[in-house]
Amino acid sequence: MNTENFDLSGYLKERRTLLEESLNRIILQFDQQRELVQAMRHSLMAGGKRLRPVLGMAAAEAAGGDFRYTLPAACAIEMVHTYSLIHDDLPAMDNDDLRRGVPTCHRAFSEATAILAGDALLTHAFTILSKPGKIISEPGGKPLFELYPDKRVLLELVALISDAAGVNGMVEGQMMDMLAEGGVSSSTSSATSNLNCPSDQMECLRKLHHLKTGRMIVASVQAGALSVGADSATVTLLSTYAEKIGLAFQVVDDILNVEGDASVMGKAAGSDHLNAKLTFPALLGLDESKKFAARLIEDAIEPLFSAVFEKRTLPLISIAQYILKRDR
């Protein structure tokens, strides 16, 4: 299977457009004059890679299904992802001023409004999963998902996404990150001292990323597969793919941060900057980190070349390869 002729950029654009049309229809259901709705729209419609929803759609295709059936889960997941960015950007957390090239929600509106916009996006994700037929419709107004899908599947999606996003998933990942960076406890002396895993820093870093981003990336792929009724063997195989590319994404992020620093600030890898934060280059060195990321991607895509998939896995393979070679 040759991925060189696959038009990934065209594929991503088409899928993102479909997602954003659906998200837009969701937001347009509300009075656009409302402060809360404006804040939700500001963050939800600010662009971004839409990696999670696109992975969900690509997983549905790999499983031989119609990717449009993943739209409720894809929209819900993007709303959960956006809420997490809004809350992570707050002054009490990372205190960021810019996100996706525009002012963060609390800068564009207010801190209170940003907290509430995040809460509303998270809550509405579950309204969408429980009532997809009423929410997602074709441009003409005809519901796309009147019969969509089995209610047991929808309830499974609620369980899957809430579990990945919550106390044993993304929220705990952010909590670990805050503790690791000393943003919460002022008595923090080293990056791992608050993390209950002092013995193995590598294990600790992997756990942090698994919780903070990995679980939602895995859930995205699983949600896509479940939405089209994939069998459990396919779900398991795609989950492993997602786990590996999720981790690779973080390793590449860390590498880009170091190399970005090196070119911009004239600092070499291994500088004091690296010691301030637990990262893969800090633990493994830059070269080993690059090899680690390459191996993860290789392991992720290897099973997807199987003939049983009849080239339906081309998008997933291309996305994985893109993660490795991206430069920003």
**CB nearer to a second copy: pick between 194 and 222:** 194
With 0-12 / 13-18 / 19 or more C-beta atoms within 10 angstroms meaning exposed / middle / buried, residue 64 is middle
The residue with tokens 């793919």 is 241
Is 32 a binding residue for a second copy by CB under 8 A? The answer is no
Closest contact distance (angstroms) between CB of 179 and a second copy is 7
Binding-site size for a second copy (CB under 8 A) equals: 54
Among 39, 57, 30, smallest CA distance to 225 is for 57
Is 222 a binding residue for a second copy by CB under 8 A? The answer is no
- Enumerate residues 56-115 that contact a second copy by CB under 8 A: 83, 87, 90, 92-93, 109-113, 115
Closest contact distance (angstroms) between CB of 35 and a second copy is 6
**CB nearer to a second copy: pick between 84 and 318:** 84
Compute the distance between CA of residue 159 and CA of residue 155 in angstroms, rounded to an integer: 6
**171 and 161 Cβ atoms separated by less than 8 Å:** no
Is 126 a binding residue for a second copy by CB under 8 A? The answer is yes
Beta strands in the chain (DSSP E): 98-99, 102-103
Is 297 a binding residue for a second copy by CB under 8 A? The answer is no
Compute the distance between CA of residue 279 and CA of residue 258 in angstroms, rounded to an integer: 10
Is 28 a binding residue for a second copy by CB under 8 A? The answer is no
- 8-27 helix and 314-325 helix, angle to the nearest 10 degrees: 100
**CB nearer to a second copy: pick between 40 and 251:** 40
**CB nearer to a second copy: pick between 122 and 245:** 122
Q: CA-CA distances (angstroms) from residue 251 to 192, 231, 287?
A: 18, 31, 12
Is 131 a binding residue for a second copy by CB under 8 A? The answer is yes
The 3-state DSSP composition of the chain as helix, strand, coil percent (nearest 5) reads 70, 0, 30
Is 162 a binding residue for a second copy by CB under 8 A? The answer is yes
Stretch that binds a second copy, among 48-56, 154-162, 277-285, 308-316 (CB under 8 A): 154-162
**CB nearer to a second copy: pick between 80 and 319:** 80
In angstroms, the first-to-last Cα distance of the chain is 27
Among 233, 223, 244, 224, smallest CA distance to 309 is for 233
Q: Pick from 21, 96, 156, 299: which binds a second copy (CB under 8 A)?
A: 156
Closest contact distance (angstroms) between CB of 209 and a second copy is 17
**209 and 229 Cβ atoms separated by less than 8 Å:** no
Is 202 a binding residue for a second copy by CB under 8 A? The answer is no
**Contact residues: a second copy, CB under 8 A:** 30, 33-37, 40, 83, 87, 90, 92-93, 109-113, 115-116, 118-120, 122-124, 126-127, 129-131, 151-152, 154-156, 158-159, 162-163, 165-168, 171-172, 174-175, 178-179, 183-185, 194, 196
